[in-house]
Structure 1
């Protein structure tokens, strides 16, 4: 029993040191164990190669997405080809091909921008192409945008110059800016234009105020009193049209009330009166001048029928002309021609002969007024044809006709023409009376 117990106690002490010493004992020099280090190296190399290929592939895909998807882009074409190849193809594309392909694409892109660009872009692109690859790259990065801004500014200035609403000051400033470069164009648009436009607006406002009616003058004066560019611009954009409509309606009412307006003109005016601002402005600026011209031509045709020789001659010349000739005749030519006819009638009025009862004198004339005989005695009343009057020591026989006027020829048109709305009736009545008078003179002259 003692031996068994002793063995049980001693067994762990014997077994554990033995295991520890066995594991700690160095291996014999000539014996090799499992090569764990070599297996780890073999597993790492493929993993590193796969990671590099993945990075290269991602980079080529990015380049492909950023390059123009056009047939002319060699970078796009090369990237697509590399992505279809091996890891070596990807690496060769990135390290060898890409730089040359980019230079080729840049040169072609600069040429395309030159073809489609404005003056400044063309000049900048041409200079870049002549400057080499670095100049082209700089042009594509920044230069083209600076040049485009200059072209946009130039286009804006040209549009301002061509705008019929631009005033004299703005046009002069625009012309000066267009002769300069980018700095001059930018300075005109940002610094000069607002001030020049404000000055021109004030000049335009004063012109409208001088030519406008009461409502326009009042609105313009109010805008000037505000002393701000905004108030002047508001008047030009909105206030003027509103005030002009008020003045147009007043003018249309005058046309309707004017006795010189024909029935057609009055009807058109009444229609415009019932319309809006656009209709009123169209009537005053387009319809009324045409209707007035038609009315004037009718009036001249009536004058031709009723006027004296000089009046008829001048009226016919005007009638064969344009509207301006018609207007000039009615304002000045008609009165001048009537004066000629009156002068001719006055020259034909005095008679010849001897008086004071010792001879006979013949008087000719028209009218129931008084005239002088050839002796220079006091005026005597004209008697009907064949009437003998005895005065003093002899007899004086006067022959002549009695008229209905007051010593002027009725056919000269010196009394003018009545011109009511649709005044043909008055003109015809006057013409008929003149024809009757002319016939009476003709009859009286034949009897004498």
Structure 2
């Protein structure tokens, strides 16, 4: 019974290596499960090394560069169209656009841009753009970066000088220097604007203020003298601010002078008072526009009155004046009336042509006596309308005292109080009872005169 137990122990000891070791070797030779990779014993590299970059990376970079070009607002239409077409293609189309199409399309777009600039630019811009278009791509690029801004500045300077010359307020010194600069180079135009313009403008301003001192009203003269004693800045400030205020003051004085004349018509007085109740602009408008017209109407009424009561020469001269312009009316009142009246007075004082009496026909007591001269009738008085010029204003204010004095310049027999001599016609003075008839006839003659003017 002991032998079999010993044999079993020995057999187990002999079979144990065969059972254990073959199982270890077969594990290495057995197939691995799918999806599981074993260690790379041949390469010897680390398991997490990055793979080498291929063509996919270059394509992504090209696509990003084209998208950046499209996002640029300065990209022209030709480049934009070609880029959008390339983005729809593959890597080869992207690369071809960047290496070939981009440069060509960009050059074409720049030339189109220069052509547009040339069409809308000034003289200097057009000249520079045309010269660039005659050159190569480098000339086009240089024009856009340097030539265009310089040409624009030149054209702007030219336009500014032309604007200055077009201003009616530009003085003679500035005008002369500006015209000279326009005929010169870009540098000369720039020198005029930066240096000559302020100098010449200061001189012109002083000349203008000196003229205001000579011709302005009291307020204008006082302000102008004060400005002349100051700096160029004081002169400029006076012309911009002081002069308008002083002129408005002088204009009101001129209207008050018009109202102070007792011989003005009712229409003139009403218009003058209305202007005084308004703004400085209303006052200036009255003096510059309304007053000359009102005085013209008053002068025509005056001439019609003279015509109705005057002698033959006066009536003839007055009729011609009534058929003429306002200037003819004023000329008659200032000169023609006196000349015509002198003719009528000379005719009235001329001895009558009678045959000499025979001595035998006269009584003895009258032998040897001369012919009796006709008695000269003193001319009747005709009340006129006179307005004294005050000289208290320039511009609009001066209008209040010029060209409207009916009787100013007539011979000394016409007094400043408004009494104007008649023309030697007997019995036609206002005191003889003919005033109403003369006024009525004058109104009719005014109407006839205006109708003739309208028909002609």
What TM-score bracket applies, with the shorter chain setting the length? 0.7 to 0.9
Structure 1 residues 351, 433: closer, same or farther in 2, change over 3 A? Answer: farther
Equivalent-residue separation in structure 2 for 1:100 and 1:241 (angstroms): 65
SS at match of 1:85: coil
1:77 positional shift:
1.1
Q: Which residue of structure 1 aligns with residue 399 of structure 2? A: none
Q: Which residue of structure 1 aligns with residue 339 of structure 2? A: 336
1:109 equivalent to 2:113? Answer yes
Structure 1 residues 393, 208: closer, same or farther in 2, change over 3 A? Answer: closer
1:36 positional shift:
5.3
Q: Which residue of structure 2 aligns with residue 433 of structure 1? A: 432
Q: Which residue of structure 2 aligns with residue 387 of structure 1? A: none
TM-score, with normalisation over the residues of structure 2? 0.71
Equivalent-residue separation in structure 1 for 2:372 and 2:199 (angstroms): 86
Provide the alpha-carbon RMSD of the alignment. 3.3
Residue from 181, 205, 208 that aligns with 1:204:
208
Q: Which residue of structure 2 aligns with residue 248 of structure 1? A: 251
Structure 1 residues 214, 40: closer, same or farther in 2, change over 3 A? Answer: same
Q: Which residue of structure 1 aligns with residue 309 of structure 2? A: 306
1:244 positional shift:
0.6
Residue from 65, 90, 98 that aligns with 2:102:
98
1:194 positional shift:
0.6
Verify the 8 A CA contact 1:205 1:232 in the aligned structure 2.
yes
1:276 positional shift:
1.4
Q: Which residue of structure 2 aligns with residue 322 of structure 1? A: 325
Structure 1 residues 247, 350: closer, same or farther in 2, change over 3 A? Answer: farther
Residue from 182, 193, 197 that aligns with 1:193:
197
Which string of whole-angstrom CA distances, capped at 9 and with x for unpartnered residues, describes residues 280-315 of structure 1? 111111111111111001101111111111111111
Verify the 8 A CA contact 1:358 1:393 in the aligned structure 2.
no
Which string of whole-angstrom CA distances, capped at 9 and with x for unpartnered residues, describes residues 312-368 of structure 1? 11111111111111111111111111111111111146987679x9864xxxxxxxx
Count of residues in correspondence between the two structures: 360
Verify the 8 A CA contact 2:351 2:373 in the aligned structure 1.
no
Residue from 204, 227, 232 that aligns with 1:229:
232
Verify the 8 A CA contact 1:358 1:395 in the aligned structure 2.
no
Equivalent-residue separation in structure 2 for 1:101 and 1:330 (angstroms): 84
Residue from 153, 161, 165 that aligns with 1:161:
165
1:98 positional shift:
1.1
Which string of whole-angstrom CA distances, capped at 9 and with x for unpartnered residues, describes residues 240-262 of structure 1? 11001111111111101113311
Q: Which residue of structure 2 aligns with residue 19 of structure 1? A: none
Q: Which residue of structure 2 aligns with residue 61 of structure 1? A: 67
Verify the 8 A CA contact 2:171 2:201 in the aligned structure 1.
yes
1:274 positional shift:
1.3
Question: Please, which runs of 5 or more residues in structure 2 have no aligned partner?
Answer: 1-39, 388-417, 436-456
Equivalent-residue separation in structure 1 for 2:366 and 2:206 (angstroms): 88
Structure 1 residues 38, 117: closer, same or farther in 2, change over 3 A? Answer: farther
SS at match of 2:168: coil
Q: Which residue of structure 2 aligns with residue 44 of structure 1? A: 52
Q: Which residue of structure 2 aligns with residue 289 of structure 1? A: 292
Verify the 8 A CA contact 1:67 1:75 in the aligned structure 2.
no
Which string of whole-angstrom CA distances, capped at 9 and with x for unpartnered residues, describes residues 58-89 of structure 1? 3222322225566xx21111222223333333
Structure 1 residues 350, 232: closer, same or farther in 2, change over 3 A? Answer: farther
TM-score, with normalisation over the residues of structure 1? 0.72
Equivalent-residue separation in structure 2 for 1:42 and 1:127 (angstroms): 57
Verify the 8 A CA contact 2:382 2:430 in the aligned structure 1.
no
Verify the 8 A CA contact 1:265 1:291 in the aligned structure 2.
yes
1:419 positional shift:
4.0
SS at match of 2:53: helix
Q: Which residue of structure 1 aligns with residue 144 of structure 2? A: 140
